[in-house]
Amino acid sequence: MADNRDLLKQITKLKKEKNAIILVHNYQRPEIYEVADFIGDSLELSRKAAETEAQTIVFCGVSFMAETAKILSPNKNVLLPNLEAGCSLADMITADQVNSLRANFPEAAVVSYVNTNAAVKAVSDICCTSANAVKILNSLPNDEIIFLPDKNLGSYVQSHTLKKIYVWDGYCSVHQDLKKQDLISFKKEHPLAKIIAHPECKKDVLEVADFVCGTGGMAKYAENNDSSEFIVVTECGMTNKLRDDVPEKHFYSFCNLCSFMKATTLEMVLKSLQENKHPIYLPEEIMNKARNSITRMLALA
């Protein structure tokens, strides 16, 4: 097996030859950062890719992220290096289930988290991110909202709105398994540290956090806060990214690993470029309807 230096060299060469860019989500393996053109959260990455002249997009993340990149760049070749890189949260809701919810709550707008598959986005009224969910919901004229698929993010949003929210019973297992009492014990080991938690965590975990935000807001909070120490409550890879982004401060992981996010390797990235593995194909109707849900969000947010 080639060592990482050789792999990095081959990948860099192929990127130039194929007019390709590599998008890397914050939760990926640290060595994957080395080949990234852009590192960040899923929607931010897809938007940046759409603005480039690259013809091929290699998305080092999970399947719904690569779908979103394809939705925003329909004429580009979008590759997912590992087909096994799925998302248990996204798979907890289907388009048919969304349509059933509409029938049960006809006055409600359907707001889907970007962590959903393309078919679900296509039958939603609008999408949201963890950062803009509250703003999106409060911007809608509807007094009732169907929010999916993450019940913890839905609970967090409910605490910031007067609207009636019907929350789907889905969750991210990485965040769902983080426990309040364990966090309190961990805090005792680092008493001066501020706690930054992702809103996909359970309500009782968020109650002990100093700041709640998605991955895109964590570095900014750490940079602007007077504290020099932070406990990061999310997937473990984010702590490595924060140490790179804000090296003058100290970050401690209170986390779980996501096996899906860690499923992509440098070898897979190279093979994806060499053999065009694995292209994302979506029906045009689903792409167009899903794009409408995303563009509505962008217009409001």
Burial class of residue 211, CB neighbours in 10 A (0-12, 13-18, 19+): middle
The whole-angstrom separation of Cα 46 and Cα 124 is: 19
Residue 34 resides in a domain: yes
**Domain co-membership, 190 together with 243:** yes
**What average pLDDT does the segment 26-51 reach?**
95
221 and 203 within one domain: yes
CATH number at residue 39: 3.40.50.10800
Q: What is the tally of structural domains in the chain?
A: 3
Give yes or no: residues 274 and 209 share one domain: no
Predicted model pTM: 0.95
Domain boundary among 140, 155, 171: 171
Regarding whether 252 and 178 lie in a shared domain, the answer is: yes
CA geometry: angle 221, 226, 232, nearest 5 deg:
45
Within this chain, do residues 81 and 67 fall inside the same structural domain, yes or no?
yes
DSSP state of 242: H
Residues 99-152 have pLDDT tens digits of: 999 999 999 999 999 999 999 999 999 999 999 999 999 999 999 999 999 999
198 and 244 inside one domain: yes
> Would 293 be classed as within a structural domain?
no
Asked if residue 180 is part of any domain, the answer here is: yes
- Sheet with 144-148, strands from edge to edge, namely 126-128, 109-113, 144-148, 164-167
Cα–Cα nearest to 40, from 57, 26, 22: 26
Q: Which domain holds residue 246?
A: 174-256
Question: Domain for residue 44, yes or no?
Answer: yes
Asked if the structure places residue 114 within a domain, the reply is yes
- Please enumerate in sequence order all residues whose Cβ is within 8 A of that of 46, keeping only pairs 6 or more positions apart, or say none: 23, 65, 68, 69, 71, 72, 73
In a domain, residue 287? The reply is no
pLDDT of 57-90, one tens digit each? 999 999 999 999 999 999 999 999 999 999 999 9
d(CA 94, CA 84): 19
Q: pLDDT, tens digit, for every residue of 180-209? A: 999 999 999 999 999 999 999 999 999 999
Query: Do residues 261 and 25 lie in contact, with contact meaning Cβ atoms separated by under 8 Å?
Result: yes
> Which two tokens mark 4?
């990482």
